[in-house]
């Protein structure tokens, strides 16, 4: 490139110097403005957006670390360069377009793995995998390990050394019973008399037996109760290995000795610990709150009737939360889905709702009508037997007509037998239907649905 003439080169040099002085003036002004704004902002940290960081990073990269150290005030030069590196890395970030990886385990399978591990402390990863495979789920051993780790469940060698109380008690429910007393004030001709009610409960089934009611409990009375409870045939504690007792003085040495002689070991609780006999205490609260506290008991017979009706309601009609809102021993059979009916005890103090059967033959039979139901069944059996006799006689009469070698005198006898059997059947059907329609539960009363 040819050099400029000296006059023109001098003019260009003057113009370049002027422009340089103008740029330095602008830079000095911007630096001073930056210092003023920084001083006005104070020592607080300046919050920048991502767009602002990208703009500063792009400009600062051109200047380099050394020049940035002399002019940057709000951030350090290393921060500017780090922003620039991050800005470059975002260009090659493919996480937004990345395809999904390995799918996670289905929640239902994970729940099943956790359930097996909790319910079976001795099961390891391989044993759980075998149980899942039997149910149609093929899960890897490491997947089971990861699921248990996510739920905070320890490996089998550590789990098998620990047994929760729920598992321990469930394994011994069959042989444990609980006993307790509660008192009731009864209004008699002599005034208020305190009666003592003694009951025993089987913890597994929650069945309750009222062992005795008296206003004068003593050692002889308790000894007789122990004999009744441990009777070989129908004793309530027959087959029970342990019975929970508190420190009531009515549990005399003779009472405990009779229990031990029959294979029932008394477990005496520590003093002032009713929570250790929680099931019996809960029954006491139920019988008092739901029944006895709502009655003015007039005499011992009234008390016995109220307790007896509540125990029937407790077993047959009252749902229990500890049993999944199921009945302990439902004795009422409901057929059909008719209108809502109500079973009442003690004048409506205790109620139970059920569905009436729609069909004419459908009925509700309660425990109090077992004898009526048995009579109905016997009558139905007699009807079936009479029907069988009728068919046999009819078949015999047909064979008699077809056989010429039979004597003609036998035919009238068979016809008479057939007619007699037919009358028996018709009469039995009529009596059975009338007896069936008369069957009613003595403790059930209709109510609008």
- Is the C-alpha dihedral spanning 205, 206, 209, 211 positive or negative? positive
Burial of 182 (0-12, 13-18, 19+ CB in 10 A): middle
Region class of 195: left (phi > 0), else alpha (psi between -120 and 50), else beta: beta
pLDDT of 170 reads 77
Of 109, 111, 62, the C-alpha closest to 84 is: 62
Query: Per residue of the chain (449 residues), what is the pLDDT tens digit?
Result: 456 677 777 677 777 777 777 777 777 767 767 777 677 777 677 777 877 777 777 777 777 767 766 666 666 777 777 877 887 888 787 777 777 777 788 899 999 999 998 888 888 899 999 999 989 999 999 999 999 988 888 887 777 677 777 777 777 888 999 999 999 999 999 899 999 999 999 998 999 999 999 999 999 999 999 999 999 888 999 889 999 999 999 999 999 999 999 999 999 999 888 888 999 999 999 999 999 999 999 999 999 999 999 999 999 888 888 888 888 888 655 555 678 888 889 988 998 888 776 654 444 444 444 444 444 445 444 544 444 444 444 444 444 444 443 444 443 433 333 444 444 444 444 444 444 344 333 333 333 33
What are the structural domain ranges in the chain? 11-44, 48-88, 107-162, 171-323, 367-404+411-445
pLDDT of 91 reads 78
Helix axes 278-290, 300-316, angle to 10 degrees: 120
| Stated pTM of the model | 0.52
Q: Got the DSSP string for 288-341?
A: HHHTGGGS--BSHHHHHHHHHHHHHHHHHT--BGGGTSB-SS---B--S--SEE
By DSSP bridging, strand 265-268 and strand 340-345 are unpaired
pLDDT of 390 reads 42
Q: In what order do the strands lie in the sheet with 191-202?
A: 208-214, 191-202, 176-188, 242-245, 265-268
Helix axes 141-150, 125-134, angle to 10 degrees: 110
Q: What tokens does 430 get?
A: 């009529």
Question: Which run of H or E residues covers position 13?
Answer: helix 6-41
Burial of 403 (0-12, 13-18, 19+ CB in 10 A): exposed
Q: What tokens does 436 get?
A: 């069936």
Contact 309, 277 (CB under 8 A): no
Which residue intervals of 44-188 are DSSP H helices? 50-71, 77-91, 107-119, 125-134, 141-150, 156-159, 165-172
pLDDT of 411 reads 37
Contact 308, 367 (CB under 8 A): no
**What φ, ψ does residue 335 adopt, rounded to 5°?**
-115, 125
pLDDT of 71 reads 65
pLDDT of 259 reads 94
Q: Does domain 171-323 have CATH number 3.30.420.10?
A: yes
Cα–Cα distance, 230 to 222 (Å, whole number): 12
Of 390, 393, 422, the C-alpha closest to 410 is: 393
Cα–Cα distance, 245 to 97 (Å, whole number): 71
Contact 114, 151 (CB under 8 A): yes
Q: In what order do the strands lie in the sheet with 350-355?
A: 350-355, 340-345, 444-445
Q: What tokens does 315 get?
A: 């077993």
pLDDT of 34 reads 73
Identify the bridge partners of residue 177 per DSSP, sorted by sequence position: 202, 243
pLDDT of 446 reads 38
């Amino acid at each position: 490139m040819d050099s400029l003439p000296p006059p023109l080169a001098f003019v260009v040099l003057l113009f370049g110097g002027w422009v340089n002085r103008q740029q330095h003036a602008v830079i000095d002004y911007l630096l001073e403005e930056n210092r003023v704004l920084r001083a006005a902002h104070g020592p607080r940290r300046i919050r920048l957006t991502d767009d602002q960081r990208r703009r500063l990073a792009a400009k600062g990269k051109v200047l380099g670390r050394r020049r940035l150290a002399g002019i940057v005030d709000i951030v350090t030069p290393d921060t500017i360069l780090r922003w620039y590196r991050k800005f470059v890395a975002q260009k090659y970030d493919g996480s937004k377009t990345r395809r999904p990886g390995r799918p996670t385990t289905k929640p239902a399978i994970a729940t099943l793995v956790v359930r097996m591990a909790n319910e079976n402390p001795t099961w390891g990863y391989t044993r759980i995998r075998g149980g899942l495979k039997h149910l149609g789920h093929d899960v890897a051993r490491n997947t089971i390990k990861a699921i248990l780790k996510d739920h905070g469940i320890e490996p089998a060698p550590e789990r098998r050394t620990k047994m929760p109380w729920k598992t321990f008690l469930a394994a011994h429910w069959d042989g444990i019973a609980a006993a307790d007393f509660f008192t009731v004030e009864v209004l008699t001709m002599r005034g208020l008399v305190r009666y003592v009610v003694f009951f025993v409960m089987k913890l597994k089934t929650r069945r309750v037996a009222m062992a005795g009611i008296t206003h004068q409990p003593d050692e002889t009375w308790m000894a007789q109760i122990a004999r009744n409870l441990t009777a070989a045939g129908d004793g309530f504690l027959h087959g029970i290995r342990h019975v929970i007792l508190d420190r009531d003085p009515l549990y005399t040495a003779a009472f405990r000795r009779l229990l031990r002689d029959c294979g029932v070991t008394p477990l005496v609780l520590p003093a002032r610990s009713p929570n250790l006999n929680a099931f019996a205490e809960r029954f006491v609260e139920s019988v008092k709150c739901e029944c006895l506290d709502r009655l003015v008991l007039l005499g011992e017979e009234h008390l016995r009737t109220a307790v007896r009706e509540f125990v029937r309601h407790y077993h047959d009609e009252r749902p229990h939360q500890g049993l999944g809102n199921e009945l302990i021993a439902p004795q009422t059979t409901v057929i059909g889905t008719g209108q809502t009916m109500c079973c009442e005890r003690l004048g409506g103090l205790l109620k139970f709702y059920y569905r009436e059967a729609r069909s004419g033959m459908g009925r509700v039979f309660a425990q109090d009508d077992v004898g009526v139901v048995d009579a109905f069944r016997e009558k139905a059996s007699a009807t079936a037997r009479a029907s069988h006799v009728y068919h046999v006689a009819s078949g015999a009469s047909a064979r008699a007509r077809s056989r010429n070698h039979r004597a003609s005198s036998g035919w009238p006898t068979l016809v008479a037998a057939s007619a007699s059997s037919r009358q028996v059947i018709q009469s039995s059907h009529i009596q059975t239907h009338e007896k069936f329609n008369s069957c009613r539960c003595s403790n059930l009363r209709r109510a609008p649905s």
